[in-house]
Amino acid sequence: MANVTFVWHMHQPYYVNPASNIATMPWVRLHAVKGYLDMVSILADFPKIRVNFNLTPVLCLQLEELAQGRIRDLWLEWSRKPPEALDENERLAILEHFFKIHHDNLLRPFPRYAELLEKRGPSFHRERMRGELHTWSAQDFRDLQTWYNLAWCGFTAGKLHPELRELKRKGSHFSEAEKNRVLDIHMEIVARIIPLYAEAERRGQIELTTTPFFHPILPLVYDTDIAGRCMPGRARPRRFHWPQDALAQIQLAVEQHTRMFGRAPRGLWPSEGGIAPELVPLMRQAGFEYFCSDEENLFHSLRNAGEPGDHLELFQAWRVEHDGAAISAIFREKPLSDFIGFTAARNEPHQAASHLLTHFRHICDQLQREGELIPIILDGENCWETFRDGGEAFLRELYGGIQEDPRLVSTTVEAHLRRFPPRRTLTKLHSGSWIRSDFDIWIGDEEENRAWELLGDTRAFLETKLPSLTPDIRTAALREIYAAEGSDWFWWYGPDFTTECDIIFDDLFRQHLKSIYSLCGEIPPHELDRPIIGTEPTSLYTRPKRLITPIINGKSAPFFDWSGAGTYHAGSEQSSMFRDDRYIRTMRFACDTTHLHIRCDLRRWGNFQLALIFQLPRAHIALTPPLTRGLRGTLTLRREGSEIQTGAFAADEVVEISIPLAQLTADHALRFQLKVICDGIERECYPEAAPVEITPPTSDHALASWQV
């Protein structure tokens, strides 16, 4: 028998501009009507299931502020305004932002919404759209305002408010009254979220935990030099060393959590699983009984103590000691947690849930002692957009399978620790996060380091001013510095991640710093007016520059065989989710006059297959059998019900593929994605957001658009 615990982490950064008191992005409201409502409501159908929800204080604060009307939601105001009253900038903002939604699951299934995207085009070009505004009618804008907010409504919202389903069936020509009813439902749901989670905890089905208030990477707030332990040799900013801020961030979290939910939180998910031994006394001082982090941090800690770190050591609670303080800890099972976050949606719900349940049972078979724990910890909101039905069928299969299996016991972390206190102790805790067991995402690159130094300069300035400030101003200024310490700003700086809202995040970070100078009666330094983030847009992939005819032998040399090919780096389009267990590192692609050539550089080998999925033309190419070094073979092309053997591939140092263009297309573009398949389960897809698109040369203009 094994205990299974889920810790679903719910978080949104503080989107409120301190200068205007306006939330500049809508994700708190939109995730409320989808993930937050769905995740707690579905539990009512599974009374034996017990889960943890980690609700970050900054998320809860914004839910409360929105519900009480203490802040304004800019995108809600754009939605409310009658189209006839929209000015030019507002109309352009709607055309830019109201297609920022999962296109395959939340836009294309609805013909009118898809028609509006086709009218605008796949990307937004401000000056072009300014010239085309006259082609957009008031009804076009009203339908777009309605669809953007209607499509976000999750499966529970549709059951609670059947009129939402009726509006989806209606599809177009929405009235102002219908549009505003959708928005009214949004706000009704926003107001219900905190009470729903509080009630679920009171009935004993969930445990609520928390995170440092503004979601900072706590070890770096304590001391940025801690990064040197897991990132030796990396450039770091001037030292930021404010242990008192680290303590304040967790104390403020406890205070607000207790006020909102009626009891102090027992557990802490340190932001991004970021831990360091110096935090143990602070967590105990704030009253926490346990924290959660990632399995790699556990294994590093065991190696620090000279222990090999058998994987089965993961499935238990631990006691962590430092500087006279002790606290319990659990560490997430990474592959299965990441499977839910990144892979499950690519597969049929029953198949994905069965994959997890099979692994749970296998772990159960390996465990020898009573009280072992399988900890599944992951983002509880972002992945549901990638499921066609918002994850309902998958969650029902998963929860139902656990509930019906006598060998699997669903539990909260708190309940488990009450029954099974830690048996083993860690005395040399590793410093790192859940991402690669280091802090590289948030520190070390030029933009990140510049942001830390601006933060440090502002924090030092504030410290000199604190004695002269009134209590109210002092509190407000400290909250602004705590907000600027949040991890989310640093997430988007540097080359690791990008989003269409990068510039907004950059502006918000600098606004928090400017606000501190203003509260202290000083003019903010001009340095804070200069964007930190680069303003040049980055492409998803580079396009081929010339025709190439590489030798298909699986060898990485000679280099010039692939010189001039288009290049896609796996994971380069990551947004708010991260994974580091990929098989593919880089994909290169190009054509000659007769073949499409593709090369994959691998991060690691494993028992996997590669498949090329062509959206244009409709075709599927599989490399079979599973790839191993030294394998050569032909490709299996499936198209329009037929199956043929064609082309060639070779796997050795790299994987190289060559496909006759005659089997694919004559004159039009090719659009394709590369997928990694393991045991029938789709694990990875590249590019993730949209296919590669290239136009092969034809016989009469072979070099028309290619550089030589």
Final residue of a structural domain among 511, 529, 547? 529
Task: Count CA atoms closer than 13 A to 214's CA, side-chain side.
Answer: 25
Please state the rounded mean pLDDT for residues 214-239: 97
**CA–CA distance, 299 with 434 (Å, rounded to integer):** 12
Range from 158-167, 250-259, 261-270, 647-656 carrying the lowest mean pLDDT: 647-656
Domain hosting residue 656, numbered range? 559-694
Q: What is the pLDDT of residue 701?
A: 41
On whether residue 149 sits in a domain, the answer given is yes
Q: What is the pLDDT of residue 705?
A: 37
Q: Does residue 539 surpass a pLDDT of 80?
A: no
On whether residue 431 sits in a domain, the answer given is no
Distance from the Cα of residue 569 to its chain's centroid: 18
Question: In sequence order, what are the residues at sequence separation of 6 or more whose Cβ sits closer than 8 angstroms to the Cβ of residue 679?
Answer: 607
Q: Does residue 179 surpass a pLDDT of 90?
A: yes
Same domain as 574, residue 518:
no
Q: What is the pLDDT of residue 612?
A: 87
Whole-number Cα distances in Å, 214 to 246, 554, 698: 11, 48, 56
Q: What is the pLDDT of residue 559?
A: 67
Final residue of a structural domain among 201, 230, 248? 201
**CA–CA distance, 303 with 230 (Å, rounded to integer):** 13
36-75 pLDDT, tens digit per residue, is 999 999 999 999 999 999 999 999 999 999 999 999 999 9
Range from 179-188, 474-483, 530-539 carrying the lowest mean pLDDT: 530-539
On whether residue 441 sits in a domain, the answer given is no
Neighbouring CB atoms inside 10 A of 181's CB total 18
Same domain as 574, residue 511:
no
Same domain as 525, residue 563:
no
3-state secondary structure 466-523: HHHCCHHHHHHHHHHHHHHCEHHHHHHCCCCCCCCCHHHHHHHHHHHHHHHHHHCCCC
CATH of the domain at 465: 1.20.1430
Please state the rounded mean pLDDT for residues 264-293: 98
Structure tokens of 688? 């993730």
Same domain as 661, residue 593:
yes
Same domain as 102, residue 7:
yes
Q: Does residue 544 surpass a pLDDT of 80?
A: yes
Please state the rounded mean pLDDT for residues 109-133: 95
Q: What is the pLDDT of residue 577?
A: 47
Q: What is the pLDDT of residue 369?
A: 82
On whether residue 474 sits in a domain, the answer given is yes
Same domain as 134, residue 35:
yes
Place of tokens 């991890």: 487
Proportion of the chain above pLDDT 90, given as a percent: 75
Q: What is the pLDDT of residue 572?
A: 63
Q: What is the pLDDT of residue 704?
A: 37
The more confidently predicted of residues 506 and 536 is 506
Domain count, the chain: 3
Q: What is the pLDDT of residue 181?
A: 98
On whether residue 102 sits in a domain, the answer given is yes
The mean of the pLDDT values for the chain is 91
Question: In sequence order, what are the residues at sequence separation of 6 or more whose Cβ sits closer than 8 angstroms to the Cβ of residue 506?
Answer: 489, 492, 493, 531, 532, 533
Same domain as 626, residue 520:
no
Same domain as 601, residue 497:
no
Structure tokens of 280? 């143990």
End-to-end CA gap in the chain:
64
Q: For 188, phi and psi rounded to 5 degrees?
A: -65, -40
Q: What is the pLDDT of residue 573?
A: 58
Q: Which of 491, 286, 457 is nearest to 379 (CA)?
A: 491
Same domain as 491, residue 569:
no
Please state the rounded mean pLDDT for residues 425-438: 96
Neighbouring CB atoms inside 10 A of 351's CB total 15
Q: Does residue 617 surpass a pLDDT of 60?
A: yes
Q: What is the pLDDT of residue 569?
A: 86
On whether residue 237 sits in a domain, the answer given is no
Same domain as 611, residue 463:
no
Q: What is the pLDDT of residue 274?
A: 98
Please state the rounded mean pLDDT for residues 478-499: 89
On whether residue 629 sits in a domain, the answer given is yes
Please state the rounded mean pLDDT for residues 681-686: 80
On whether residue 231 sits in a domain, the answer given is no
Whole-number Cα distances in Å, 128 to 99, 125, 131, 501, 535: 17, 5, 5, 20, 19
Q: Which of 445, 450, 451, 374 is nearest to 407 (CA)?
A: 374
Final residue of a structural domain among 201, 233, 265? 201
Q: What is the pLDDT of residue 664?
A: 81
Same domain as 191, residue 95:
yes
Plot region of 310 (φ>0 → left; ψ -120 to 50 → alpha; else → beta): beta
Q: What is the pLDDT of residue 264?
A: 98
Q: What is the pLDDT of residue 627?
A: 81
Same domain as 135, residue 25:
yes
**CA–CA distance, 263 with 257 (Å, rounded to integer):** 7
Whole-number Cα distances in Å, 393 to 155, 160, 351, 621, 685: 10, 18, 11, 29, 22
Neighbouring CB atoms inside 10 A of 512's CB total 27
Q: Which of 415, 407, 525 is nearest to 461 (CA)?
A: 525
Q: How confident is the model at residue 19 (pLDDT cuts 50, 70, 90)?
A: confident
Q: What is the pLDDT of residue 557?
A: 76
Contacts 24+ apart (CB under 8 A), 616-621: 616/665, 616/668, 616/669, 616/670, 616/671, 616/693, 617/664, 617/665, 617/670, 619/663, 619/664, 621/647, 621/659
Q: Which of 331-340, 565-574, 586-595 has the highest mean pLDDT?
A: 331-340
Q: What is the pLDDT of residue 561?
A: 85
294-322 pLDDT, tens digit per residue, is 999 999 999 999 998 788 999 999 999 99
